[in-house]
Amino acid sequence: MALHYNLSKVYALSDNDSDFVLQIMKVFIAEVPHDLMHLESGIEEKNYSQTYSYAHKLKPTLDLLGMEMMYDEILQIESWTKAKGKRKEIEEVFKSLKAQLDKAIKEIKKDFNL
């Protein structure tokens, strides 16, 4: 049983097509670490545009994969970019998001033999 993700929306979207689900997982594993790296550098450099862009890109994926807490954190990051907040205001949220996504990636790799 998956602890860090929920595939019910993916299965519903795909009419229980396991090949489609596998492709979604492969794309997730391939793209999310890259997106996180850009999100982190955007926060570090206070590049609000870059940070917003990558947060906005991750948002539908987190929703699709049932990552509710991570989804809430990405919304906080988006709000931070709009308010042009101070870096220290968002660092803990990002650390939590990154830690959870790292766990999810590890779990997905194991569950799907990727």
* Domain assignment of residue 40, yes or no: yes
Full residue range of the structural domain in which residue 100 is found = 8-111
For residue 2, is it within any domain? no
Q: How many domains would you assign to the chain?
A: 1
Whole-prediction pTM: 0.92
CB 38 within 8 A of CB 55: no
Tokens of 60: 């539908």
Length of the chain: 114
CATH label of the domain that carries residue 65: 1.20.120
Q: 98-111, pLDDT tens digit by residue?
A: 999 999 999 999 99
Question: Does any domain span residue 20?
Answer: yes
pLDDT digits 0-9 by tens, 22-71: 999 999 999 999 999 999 999 999 999 999 999 999 999 999 999 999 99
What distance in Å separates the CA atoms of residue 43 and residue 7, rounded to the nearest whole number?
29
Residue found under tokens 């595939």: 7
